[in-house]
Amino acid sequence: MFDQFDALLLARFQFAFTVSFHFIFPSFSIGLASYLAVLEGLWLWTGREVYLNLFKYWLKIFALAFAMGVVSGIVMSYQFGTNWSVFSDKAGPVIGPLMAYEVMTAFFLEAGFLGIMLFGMGRVGRKLHIAATLAVAIGTFISAFWILSANSWMQTPVGYGINEAGQFVPQDWWAIVFNPSFPYRLVHTVLAAYLTTALVVGGVGAWHLLRERTNKGARVMFSMAMGMVAVVAPLQIFAGDMHGLNTLEHQPAKVMAMEGHFQSHPDGAPLILFGIPDQEAGVVRNAIEIPKASSLILKHDLNAPLAGLDTIERANWPYVPIVFWSFRIMVGLGFAMLALGALSLWARLRGRLHDWRLLHRLALVMGPSGFVAVIAGWVTTEVGRQPFTVYGLLRTAASASPLEAPAVAASLLTFIVVYFIVFGAGTGYILKLMSKPPHRGETGPEAGPDHPIRAAGITPAPAVDPDRTLGAEA
Amino acid sequence: MMPVLDLPTLWAFVIAFAVFAYVVMDGFDLGIGILFPFFAPGPERDSAMNSVAPVWDGNETWLVLGGGGLMAAFPLAYAIILPALYAPIIAMVLALIFRGVAFEFRWRDAGHRRYWDFAFTTGSVVATLAQGITLGALLQGIAVEGRSYAGGWWDWLTPFSLLVGMSLVVGYALLGATWLVMKTEGTVQDHSFRLAGRLAIGLIVCIGLVSAATPFLSSAYYQRWFAWPQVLFTAQVPLLVGLCSGTLVVSLLRRWEYWPFLLTLGLFGLCLLGLGVSMFPYVVPSAVTIHEAAAPDISLRFMLVGASVLIPIILVYTGYSYWVFRGKTGHEGYH
């Protein structure tokens, strides 16, 4: 009952499942690492204890999120080989070195300094400690740089030749690394990570403000987070628009799917707000649309002609309903974030930031929205690239490993069970930490009421002068 | 054919180095996971865990470099080996998930600490077993047709691959025990000495069995090891293994603190050397050589520029991180 098609579909589902789960953690830890560096910097600069407490409060959460990011990432680095071996053979010479650079410049940097960042307070001096925090923060960014370069090359491949074995052979590394969609994707994704983190921090701050309006830590984190949302949300919408125009230039079929444009519009295309795309029939049913608005957005001209999927061979269509909906979820949440940022600015100007309960409730509800938007955006761009792995050149159906369907089915099932248990528990622990209000004398990951042993020391610390260390302040 | 030091050969050494670095570093922390049930819940387990908590993440990164490096430098080998070893590789990454999160989770949930300790051990055992099975299955040969794997999804499971898997469990456990000898004191250290003694005997037996079986897996291996006159050269490997084993036993009997760990690493190094003797210049034994599997020179050169600068830097700051957390765990003020 299993044939090749099933094995392919299962492998695709497995990749989508594992990468979506994985993406949640870095999209949080990229922003959180930077936030921690800012908190530690502010503490060193101002000497205010509230920043140190917030640093330690979020450091415990970071430790959990980072560990889950690492282990779910190891899965990804092997899955290319286990499930997408033909892709690995053919695209390995281009993609492989980019990922090797990610490991060498980012993963080691993060991992090498994470231990000091998490457990090194009390073992190294203040300057060295903030250097470790910065190294981890910079490492998360470098990691995003390389992996998004690799992903972008799959979307907009340039700078390659093809050898007799059918492998992509690099010709111009500069062109490959800085391929046409990369700068846009990098900015859009990193901003998304910052926004996601700001929304989480804001949501946690709002939760504690709703319960205890005077909590100093909650007030500071809420204020910082809302400031970040107010600044980044509009920037992100602008960056997203630029990214969309870049996609229109290089991957028109993806934009057609996002817009739901099955048909070409020679004199101004409508903006379809909602509707039910029917892939078989090639129409969007029950569409609610604004005439000519899509041409205005994409071409800055009401009457500009826009081609539809009818200009593209059906075998090369992405699956429109998924792309259409995931795009709307992302954009809708983006505008909700913009509204939250604007409301918070208004509240700030009126001096009501810390006692306007409606704003706090709204921020609480929006707390997880960044994750949803990130996943929706990822689905838009990845499903929109289909039916190719390397856009226009290597079909997904021709990329998979020669595996039997039961093998893939078994692994997929195991991944689902394990991920829900492990990451479910991990998310539970993170929520437990978040549910406690930040307080004076906050402890870091190395100590706490649950585990006094760890505080007793991973190593002897007599070599370190206690007056010079961070731990002495707390 | 004389081996020439060209780009594919250089990269074979870089990847061999990453694999060895992985074994050196993650070997002992997986070993501590394997030995966890032998330590009493409470301070014993906590100090065993503390001795690796700040460094495990960096240790595991070498595995990512090994896998990622294989894809980048030898994409064809990566594309053949990983589907061939589908089940053990998937088992390994899943096991690494359990043990990796256990480092953090056990501190966050005292009520379920037993479960996360169990996950830590099971994850460590399964990951190690899977790595050993992978190596065994690779050594015994993989069916290749054209540019892809041509066997079934249970081909990896043989008595030989299981033997290598078991041997690696014993080997990592010994690395873990000797690490704890070095990093702890008191009851944990006494306990570790006793375990290390038994494991050392076990590992020596295992190395003997695997070494005896390997030349008979294929005539190529037999030729490689016993043909005249290179036997004069290859025979040095088992001689050194013997020497290393003897010294290891002595060091444990005399309760030296640093030598047992270093000598165990020496044994691992020699096994890797022996593996190199058996396999070179093949990356998929008797099917694909490193030159056939290698990525184009332009890919290898691009990475080599980075690797030659970055890997030394990585080693320096990794060393620094170990230095920060140096000394015995769980007992303040000890030098």
pLDDT of residue A469: 41
CB-based contact (8 Å) between B305 and chain A? no
Q: How far off is chain A from B118, nearest CA to CA, in Å?
A: 13
CB-nearest to A124 from B53, B79, B324 is B324
CB-based contact (8 Å) between B151 and chain A? no
**Could you tell me how far CA B65 lies from the centroid of its own chain?**
13
pLDDT band at A14 (very low <50, low <70, confident <90, very high): very high
CB-based contact (8 Å) between B3 and chain A? no
Computed from CA positions of residues A108, A113, A117, A119, in that sequence, does the dihedral angle turn out positive or negative?
positive
Alpha helix stretches (DSSP H) within B36-149: 43-50, 56-73, 75-84, 86-108, 113-140
Q: Are the Cβ atoms of B60 and A74 closer than 8 angstroms?
A: yes
Quick one: fold of B7-324?
Formate dehydrogenase/DMSO reductase fold (1.20.1630)
CB-nearest to B310 from A66, A105, A403 is A105
pLDDT band at A459 (very low <50, low <70, confident <90, very high): very low
- Find chain B residues with C-beta within 8 A of A63's C-beta: 104
CB-nearest to B311 from A104, A124, A450 is A104
Nearest CA to B253 among B187, B324, B198?
B198
pLDDT band at B41 (very low <50, low <70, confident <90, very high): confident
Mean pLDDT of chain A: 87
Q: Are the Cβ atoms of B332 and A458 closer than 8 angstroms?
A: no
Q: How far off is chain A from B89, nearest CA to CA, in Å?
A: 8
Nearest CA in chain A to B307: A104
A43, HSE (Cβ side, Cα atoms, 13 Å): 23
Q: Are the Cβ atoms of A115 and B63 closer than 8 angstroms?
A: no
The neighbour count for residue A410, using CB atoms within 10 Å, is 16
Q: Give the start-to-end residue ranges of the domains of chain B.
A: 7-324
- In eight-state DSSP terms, residue B227 is S
| Interface contacts A/B by beta carbons within 8 Å | 289
pLDDT of residue A276 exceeding 80: yes
Tens-place pLDDT, residues B54-83: 788 888 888 888 888 899 999 999 989 998
pLDDT of residue A430: 92
| More confident of the two residues B285 and B88 | B88
Percent of chain B scoring above 70 in pLDDT: 97
Tens-place pLDDT, residues B74-111: 999 998 999 889 999 999 999 999 988 888 888 788 78
pLDDT of residue A240 exceeding 90: yes
Enumerate the β-bridge partners of residue A277. A284
Alpha-carbon distance of A42 to A36, in angstroms, equals: 10
Bridge-based pairing state of the strands B148-149 and B282-284: unpaired
Nearest CA to B164 among B204, B136, B134?
B136
pLDDT band at A220 (very low <50, low <70, confident <90, very high): very high
CB-based contact (8 Å) between B276 and chain A? no
pLDDT of residue A324 exceeding 90: yes
